[in-house]
Amino acid sequence: MRRADGITRSRDRRENSGSRVGTAHRPGRREPASEAVAEVVYSAPALETLARALEFLYAENPPAAVAALDAVESAVVNLAAHPLLGARVEADLRELVISFGETGYIALYRFVVQQDEVRVLALRHQREIGYLP
């Protein structure tokens, strides 16, 4: 959901009611354990950078752009359940490496424990140097 202040939020809260959210039941497979899920918040600059990268890729290879978006979304959704997954780079900042093809993307984020929130501050392609402000 996009808010007026340019921040996008997504929340995938799993209820302990026996319903399967986002998973298909297959015989012989164990049901994932119920776990706390943090809220994921994208900053406006992170979304703008991602859109720019995907537009560039879409001009050359539309199916690859769709696959890249899926890879980024999948990795960031994992942060909701595992907010300390990325490598610590400085104080409370973390980087998540998102594999895609021969390279990939990097998400700079912060986990705010008090608010149970993962804040994606910046995204960049691995071949870019540094993050855009």
Task: Give residue 107's pLDDT.
Answer: 94
**At residue 95, what are phi and psi to the nearest 5 degrees?**
-120, 135
Residue ranges covered by each domain of the chain: 8-12+35-125
Predicted TM-score of the model (pTM): 0.68
Select from 116, 28, 46, 101 the least CA-distant residue to 71. 101
pLDDT of 119 strictly over 60? yes
Sequence-separated (6 or more) residues with CB below 8 Å from residue 130 = 124
Report pLDDT digits (tens) over 45-59. 999 999 998 998 999
CATH code given to domain 8-12+35-125: 3.30.2310.20
Select from 42, 61, 49 the least CA-distant residue to 124. 49
Q: How far is CA 84 from CA 94, 122, 131, in A?
A: 8, 17, 20
